[in-house]
Structure 1
Amino acid sequence: MSESTEPTAAAAAARAFGAHLEDDDGLDGEFGTATEYPDELDYYSLLGLAQKPPPTDAEIRSAYRNLSLMFHPDKQPSHLQESAEQHFQRIQTAYDTLIDPKKRVVYDLLGAEGVTREWGRGGAMGAGGDAEKQQVGVKAMTPEEFRRWFTKTMKKRERKAVQEMVDSRGSITLGLNADSTIRVHEDDDVTVQIPDTVIPVSYAAKYSFETPLSLPSFGGKAKEEEVQDQRKESEDAGIVEEEVEDPLHLRFNAGIAGNIIYRTQQAKAQWADGEEEDLNIPLPPVLIANNISLGATVTPNVRELIGTKGLWNNRVFSTLRDSTVLVEAEILPVPLLRTTVARAFQPIPGIKPFQVTTKTTFMRSLLESPPSLEVHVTKEVAPRKLAFCAWSSGLWYYPNLLLDHLFFRGMTLEDMYASAGDLSSLQLGLISLPNQPRNVVSMDDDDDVEPEEAELRRHLRKKQETDRAAESWQTFVQVNPGGGGLSLTYSRNLFSGTPADDPLKSEWSDEGYAPMAKMEDARAVRLEVASTVSPNLSFVWSIKGTRRVGEFTKMGIGIGFANQGILMTIGWTRLGQGLNLPIVICSKDEATHDAAILASIFTWASYLAIEFGYVRPRDRKRRREAAARCHNLLKKLVPQKRAESEQAIQLMIDQVRRRQLREYEQDGLVIDRAEYGYWPPTDRKPKPGFEEPRTTDVFFPVANLVDRGQLVIGAKTVKHQIIGFHDPAPLLKKRLKIWYSFQNRSHFVEIGDKEGIILPQRAHMCPESEQFNPLATE
């Protein structure tokens, strides 16, 4: 580095301690840390405060007072006023944010950009925002109450945005016939070829959407008074309740499914030479609709509809009030009304509750037959293990006794024949749910920590790999008058710990904000294997792989052995919209399990070739290019940041010297030397180009953090954003070394870039042979 002819404070301090400033030209960084590099100013680091434990108002004011006196533009010489103005504005903004309890809550959750957004127009605290609509005064809330109110407001906003994204759901399925793809010959030889023809043979389309439905509340004035009483009780207790949902949700659904028929017409053609020929002329395909459905589903919020007092407070209706209710109605293909009620029961205190779901379906007049019933009972028998039992009555008949003596007329022969497929059934099964992914353990070198902690980290990383696999399975036995079977389904993630099909989940909870990590690595493949064995030992199975190919887009491919033959499926889904292409690649007359296994191997090999030959190399190249752009930008900013830190050091020299002198006279904490940056490893050979240290002297910035004989640097403090610091080696692992004196004894401490420290500590004391003279402040 070519130093300026004008000596700077950093250079002077470096020469005083025998150090030198390194040349930063040609820095090469670790690309893996590019996405983690902080790109927003940290207010706590700027004021020299630790975020945990939270600083008190007195600590914030003290830090602001010291820095404002140090950087106030009116108290600086003319050539430093512009630099002082920039630093002072940042300090003022940081102080205004952290001293306001509500702004600090939002800043801790969303950062500086979140504070600007939420106090702007349309934000939660801005003009026309949620705070103006809140009947309980937001300004009168304590920080804890405001945090609960704000997180619930953000959760409601997020839920509304997600609901708008997936408000409508639709799917299109087009069945294709390409049964000439796989041929099984008489000698059991299997050949795979390009199909002669690919024609659509079936189709299906479904669509549903939700619409608001407002009805007058039951109970009228009494219900309104009840709501007001509950709100008053909440206000008196200091409880901020989340705004209730709409009392009714109405979803319409429609669908159609059928076959595509190809017809031909015979004709005779007579040529010019008088010869005749029989021809089959293809006609336009005909779509046959085998099933047309049209209906609606109503989900009432029973608590909001009927209230909690009066008649509805008795035991019978309170059971309904605490239940989840669905009402489904269809007019096509036949009129149908189904009511579903789900509720958790805990017959014995202290045990896991039973989740009981009952369904009642009316498909015909009560004079003909009673409604069909379904009962589904689920219970958690172990962590992430659910046992369930499901029973369905199917079609019931009134006994002859009732038909002969009461007004029931029974079913006609035609109705009985049409309902022959509505059979009773019994299912018993067990479900294993996947582990929830845990917070990512730091992948830093284990050589920097104690052996016990390194072993614990390795154990946690191994546990993370198991959790990321997200293994799950389900097995159940089904019995009905027509047969039954044993089914098993198994799924897990392959190739990567990054989830393949994680659902659109909430980032907000009552505890705060937990943003989903950016998925920079390649997505995993979600593998699903399903099989069913019938009583006659017929075996049906399928294998399907699903992969996320966009932020909200998934694609999947599967193959299996089914009643139609060997079936390949290709699917695409995005935000509730789906496209499915089931393709018959081998007819049921020729299909064998050997042919299906060969098709599975061929499909899997094709996917691996595309994934590892094209997709992943392309993604790695894109990530490297993005990291290189980030690194080049950081390299260009190093001289600018260095100049800013040197100007800041010049502004703080006088006050730091006076404070250090007071500490020296009181035998307090005196900073003798401090350096920050990258040092090459000593236990192994550094990489080419990283043999020399790249450090900067931070004596004055560190000494400025000493307050009343103590220095505190939080673990979450972004060290290169402390006033007077800068990053001399972007994207490299940096450390902070501090030499200090306390009670005329020399001390030394070294910490990593993501570690915190509190000084002084007895453990930092140097041996007698390494004692050095403390810095004598002029």
Structure 2
Amino acid sequence: MNHTSGRTASDGADNDANDAEAYSLLMAYPEESDYYALLGLPRDPPPTDGAIRSAYRTLTLSFHPDKQPSELRDVAEQQFKRIQDAYESLIDPQKRVVYDLLGAEGVRREWGLRGSMGRGGELERQGKQAQVGVRAMKSDEFRDWFLEMMKRRERTVLNSMVKSKGSLVVGVKATDMITVNKDGDEVYLEMPSPKLSNFAVRYSFVTPFPSLQTVFGEDEKEDDEMENGEEAGKADKATGRPELEIYAGVAGGFQRLFNQVEFEYEDGETEMRNNITLGASTDRVITDRNPKGLLRRWPFSYFQNTLVSVGATALPETTLQANVTKSIVVTPGTKPFNVVLGTTFSRSIFEAPPMLNLQVTKSIGQKKTAFCSWSSGYLDWPLVIQTLFLPFVGEDVFLEHQEVSQLQVGIASQSPKLSPAFVEDDEEDVARSSEDEEEDEYEVIRARKREEEKAAEAWTVAISSSPVTNGIILKYSRNIFSGSAATDALSQWSSEKHYALPPANEPRSVRLDVNATVSMNLSLGWSIHGSRQVSELTRMGFGVSIQSRGLILSLSWARLGQRIRLPIVICAMDNVTADSATLVVLLPWLTYCAVEFGFIRPRERRNRRKLIAKRQKKLRQQIPRKRLESAQAIEIMADQVRRRQDKEYSRGGLVITKAEYGHYLSKRNADTEPAVTDVTIPVAALVDHGQLNISKKTAKFHILGFHDPAPLQQKTLKIWYQYHGKEHYVEANDAEGVNCPMRSHLVAA
């Protein structure tokens, strides 16, 4: 007898969807108590101090250990301790700010040892005067101070990781890997004999300029206090110490480690230049915070909020670069022009004029920017100026390695910023809307933005012209393969709120970058590069390109500011044909697809299923204990809740007749008993002045008297109630809120 499997493709897709849903529930599963749910208070609108005290008094009347029989005293003491913790965190305006941002663990951490508000923390290091000022702040002021402080703390951590940057490039020559016959119609793959050809190493680090106090040995105590104080975060950009970036590098061939290039001038003199680079750069925003300062007066006001950057190199040749960046609004109410004007001095001003660079960009639509870039290149002074003003300077020589003038005009479309704040802001906007139609519209917009964020599509089209070559530049980038965005922002803090990074509950996309250049003689140069995040901060990539050296494969590794690249020349330029280029692109692509969909993603699905099963097993083992605690809590509060419900019934108010919470099975699993618990008493305990309000942000199984009967599964709260003697019914899942009474809940007779 032949047996056929009952599993179909649709069943496999359903299982994958169920796994993804269960994994998202696992990542978002709240482990610690929800203080608002515990006290029966709504999050939105925020409860007043009076409401918090009233809820606390009501619960302490029910759960005070001294008022319980001996068999319930232990559980009452446990619940009473939880209620006290919740009350102390919510009644303190500053603790409530931190709780809303970081939860109960955040409150314990920030008020604990070396936390921002605890012993040895940021506030204590600022001195007694700062402590008094911060503790006297109102909740809004404290929120701003705390967010700025957390931003500075995060920035310090990030800077410690990325302020020193290094890169290593090692070139490999394997041109005997691909050969083409004389007719050019057959391509042969052979075992290569690779040889190391060249290398490039670059390292840079950032250091602050020494202050005047350091130079002259003055006391820095006051400055340190200001720098660590409340105003430090606000003054960081404008008045913080400028920083100096120092960089050094070496490049050349492996045969001659410090390769030298010989330049011969017309007068027969020669100059030796090596491939070692050494330089430094810094930048500064010019601003005057004094309302009567010099930069507030015309014409100096034009330089207000202007970014000035200066760089210098000592090797391989002495140069000095300076750039000025300014946003200019031509007509009030329009988008500004961003102008960057730069100059480079590589020779004496008496020998040649400096090279000038000008770049102008302007936003012309949503995520689209028009740009124009011009460079003068290295030129000699005109003959008239040389004759009249520079007679003592000999005739200059135009060196081949120097840049030529160039003009680029184009349009670029930028990808959206890949930041968790992008989605959170939309969620806040949706929360502000009380109309169902508006919420549906916001949901559609938010879903569209999520898709745009995942794709992160960007492109550039430009026309380039110079005395050497003319052509069209095309660039295109996007994330391919379904999954989460290929890149994530590291920042979790802004001046608005804390943006917790979302869990990685789906495979990473691959970031694909395609660049092409078409010259006027129709010659084509192109490069294709794909990269994927392989760990939290590490990316690996693979690319193929055609350059003057030939057909090149490149492998890359990057982690924060550290980069390694390995370009391999596998085919000389003379042997590059359409067939060989296609072969080099398709083989790695097909290999990666096989690895991605045949190994990486199945392995991730298996790991997720194991994690879900392990966590579900642990949570299910806790169900009997949680059920017993809920039953004991219901027994403690039952008498007081019934008395309150009798008062509601006598005046025709809101009376909860029945409430259930749990996982209701579909019709296909009708034979299996649903995992549901009776929560009539806990729901009735939430009725306040004839109103029942359960926020959609509330973890329902954290409500006092609830427990989770079906961990990591979708659950529904069903409520039957009477209002003015008429029957009503409402149900809501874990992501929905409940507001009673409402006319739409009325049950038709």
Please report the TM-score for the alignment, with normalisation by the length of structure 2: 0.87
Q: Which amino acid aligns with 2:454?
A: R
Q: Percent identity?
A: 44
Q: Which amino acid aligns with 2:76?
A: A
After TM superposition, the structure 1 = structure 2 runs for residues 319-718 of structure 1, keeping only pairs within 5 Å, are: 319-407=302-390, 409-410=392-393, 412-413=395-396, 416-418=397-399, 421-436=402-417, 439=423, 461=447, 464-502=450-488, 504-682=489-667, 685-686=668-669, 691-718=672-699
Q: Which residue does the alignment assign to 1:300? A: 284
Distance verdict in 2 for CA 1:452–1:64, change over 3 Å: closer
Contact residue 346 and residue 354 of structure 1 kept, 8 A: yes
User: What displacement does 1:436 show?
Assistant: 4.5
Q: Which residue does the alignment assign to 1:173? A: 169
- The answer as to 2:182 corresponding to 1:186 is yes
Distance 2:319 2:188 in 1: 47
User: What displacement does 1:634 show?
Assistant: 1.0
Distance 1:184 1:287 in 2: 35
Q: Which residue does the alignment assign to 1:742? A: 723
Range moving further from structure 2, 666-675 or 157-166 = 666-675
Range moving further from structure 2, 689-698 or 150-159 = 689-698
Aligned to 1:528, what secondary structure does the other structure show? strand
User: What displacement does 1:398 show?
Assistant: 2.1
Distance 1:379 1:38 in 2: 46
Distance 2:257 2:534 in 1: 36
Aligned to 1:174, what secondary structure does the other structure show? strand
Aligned to 1:63, what secondary structure does the other structure show? helix
Which consecutive unaligned segments of at least 5 residues does structure 1 have?
1-28, 262-284, 443-448, 769-778
Distance 2:192 2:404 in 1: 41
Q: Which residue does the alignment assign to 2:33? A: 41
Distance verdict in 2 for CA 1:354–1:410, change over 3 Å: farther
Deviation readout 1:711-766 (Å, 9 max, x if unpaired): 21111111111111111111222111112222222222222222112222232222
User: How many residues of Structure 1 are paired with residues of Structure 2 in the alignment?
Assistant: 692
Q: Which amino acid aligns with 2:284?
A: P
Deviation readout 1:267-299 (Å, 9 max, x if unpaired): xxxxxxxxxxxxxxxxxx756355211011122
User: What displacement does 1:349 show?
Assistant: 1.1
Range moving further from structure 2, 622-631 or 199-208 = 622-631
Deviation readout 1:195-239 (Å, 9 max, x if unpaired): 33111101101100011222339xx9xxx9xx9xx99xx99xxx9
Distance 1:157 1:240 in 2: 12
Of 264, 271, 288 in structure 1, the residue corresponding to residue 259 of structure 2 is 288
Q: Which residue does the alignment assign to 1:13? A: none
Aligned to 2:175, what secondary structure does the other structure show? coil
User: What displacement does 1:178 show?
Assistant: 1.3
Distance 2:740 2:51 in 1: 17
Aligned to 1:334, what secondary structure does the other structure show? coil
Q: Which amino acid aligns with 1:163?
A: N
Distance 2:437 2:87 in 1: 42
Distance 2:392 2:473 in 1: 40
Aligned to 2:134, what secondary structure does the other structure show? coil
Q: Which amino acid aligns with 2:716?
A: R
Q: Which amino acid aligns with 1:46?
A: L
Higher relative contact order, structure no. (Cα contacts within 8 Å, ≥ 6 residues apart) = 1
Distance verdict in 2 for CA 1:390–1:742, change over 3 Å: same
Contact residue 326 and residue 340 of structure 1 kept, 8 A: yes
Distance 1:310 1:662 in 2: 69
Distance verdict in 2 for CA 1:172–1:695, change over 3 Å: same
Distance 1:97 1:612 in 2: 48
Distance 1:616 1:386 in 2: 37
Distance verdict in 2 for CA 1:709–1:110, change over 3 Å: same
- The answer as to 2:211 corresponding to 1:215 is yes
Q: Which amino acid aligns with 1:356?
A: V
Deviation readout 1:56-114 (Å, 9 max, x if unpaired): 11111111111111111111111111101110000000000001111111100111111
Which consecutive unaligned segments of at least 5 residues does structure 2 have?
1-20, 261-273, 428-434
Distance verdict in 2 for CA 1:744–1:286, change over 3 Å: closer
Range moving further from structure 2, 663-672 or 380-389 = 663-672
Alignment root-mean-square deviation, CA: 2.9
Of 135, 139, 142 in structure 2, the residue corresponding to residue 139 of structure 1 is 135
Q: Which amino acid aligns with 1:106?
A: V
Distance verdict in 2 for CA 1:404–1:186, change over 3 Å: closer
Distance 1:455 1:98 in 2: 34
Distance 2:436 2:298 in 1: 60
Structure whose CA Rg is larger: 1
Deviation readout 1:414-440 (Å, 9 max, x if unpaired): xx2436632111111111012356539
Range moving further from structure 2, 579-588 or 454-463 = 454-463
Q: Which amino acid aligns with 2:627?
A: R
Q: Which residue does the alignment assign to 1:82? A: 74
Deviation readout 1:224-268 (Å, 9 max, x if unpaired): 9xx9xx99xx99xxx99724242311110011111233xxxxxxx
Contact residue 631 and residue 705 of structure 2 kept, 8 A: yes
Q: Which amino acid aligns with 1:750?
A: E
Contact residue 501 and residue 554 of structure 1 kept, 8 A: no
Distance 1:679 1:454 in 2: 26
Contact residue 550 and residue 574 of structure 2 kept, 8 A: yes
Distance 1:32 1:114 in 2: 22
Deviation readout 1:12-71 (Å, 9 max, x if unpaired): xxxxxxxxxxxxxxxxx9455222222221111111111111111111111111111111
Please report the TM-score for the alignment, with normalisation by the length of structure 1: 0.84
Deviation readout 1:539-580 (Å, 9 max, x if unpaired): 111111111001000010011222111111110000110110
Range moving further from structure 2, 169-178 or 754-763 = 754-763
Distance verdict in 2 for CA 1:195–1:410, change over 3 Å: farther
Q: Which residue does the alignment assign to 1:257? A: 251
User: What displacement does 1:300 show?
Assistant: 2.8
Distance verdict in 2 for CA 1:384–1:143, change over 3 Å: same
Q: Which residue does the alignment assign to 1:16? A: none
Range moving further from structure 2, 657-666 or 491-500 = 657-666
Deviation readout 1:579-608 (Å, 9 max, x if unpaired): 101001111121112211111011111111
Aligned to 1:197, what secondary structure does the other structure show? coil
Q: Which amino acid aligns with 1:732?
A: Q
Aligned to 1:61, what secondary structure does the other structure show? helix
